[in-house]
Structure 1
Amino acid sequence: MRLALLASSALIACAVAAPAHAQLSELRAGVAAHDVYNGTEDGVQIVVEALFDSPDFLSWAFSPRPYLMGSFNTAGLTNLGAAGLAWEGGLTERFSVEGSFGISYNDGVKDFAHLPPDDPERLRLASTRAALGSRTLFHMRLGTDYALTDQWRVGVFYEHYSHGQILGNGRNQALDEVGVRLGYRFGR
């Protein structure tokens, strides 16, 4: 378990350090309905995100922007942090769509199958917490934004956290969130 925690922490640290030299291009803040598919966990997520200019070496991949984000649960349940790449395309002069893919780390419940079936703690966890199966999960997001001005944007997004039986095994209840966000793009 400590090895998995150490490996996950090292992976996130590398992802965080990679865009550190990049120019900050956008900051976002928003709120999201938490665990909308399973509905096991309560609370609203407060989501903050920093996006960076796409580095030249990613031009072959359609110039995605590196991102770092945090998602914090207001009910004291699962918090998440993620790092990855975001691809954006314009639909019109003001509307754009975005797809993101990254790796996340969470402080949620991995599993409770090790507890006896009638254990009060297992029953409590089964009714209030998603069994994520791993501390490290994939982070995938789809969103659309509307440019209010050259700098300010509002948008909606859907995101999914899951280990996909690749980053973990066993339980994989995953988490799905739907939210709204406000973004500020730095002028260039």
Structure 2
Amino acid sequence: MEYYNCDKMTLIELALRGRGGQGIVTAGELMTKAMVLEDKYAQSIPFFGGERRGAPVVSFVRLSDKPILLHREVYNPDGVAIFDVSMIQLINVTEGLKENGFLLLNTNTPKRIWKNEYVVDATNIAKELGLIVAGWAIVNTAMIGALARILGQPSLHSLEEAVKEEFPGKIGELNAEAVEIGYKEVKRVD
């Protein structure tokens, strides 16, 4: 798989978009924690209205090998991860996305809407592992596994470690497995 070229960047900015209950905010926090485990820098900035399941949610994430001096919304992300493809009907998911940026969709049917696009069926991964709360598949860990593969950072090991620290016991093991499967199954849309 061809990865997103972030080797020369000192700062990577992401927008994670989905619905309340899918673990969007937790996804940003887990990526941040994994970067810190690698002695790097990161920020997770959640943005949402009324806290309710199904409401639109976005979490902005910054990853860097140098201290991050910004602390605001991400306006021109290097990548956008869409945790629920129905969001495509509500918002312009590529608005502000850098020209060479990437789009990651949680779907099993690729929808060619951006030139640098990736897909992973995070919903199916979560369902197969029993990561369901109140009838909703919790797709966040599969999605951050896919993001790590696309970006080449944080490492799979650091992400799994962050997940296990956040969710001890069996639930942590299942979520770490979701990270690994998302990492392995993400595909570039040609």
Q: Structure 2 length normalisation: TM-score? A: 0.27
Q: With structure 1 as the length reference, what TM-score do the two structures score?
A: 0.27
Higher share of residues assigned strand: 1
- Greater helix percent: which structure? 2
Tell which structure's C-alpha radius of gyration is larger: 1
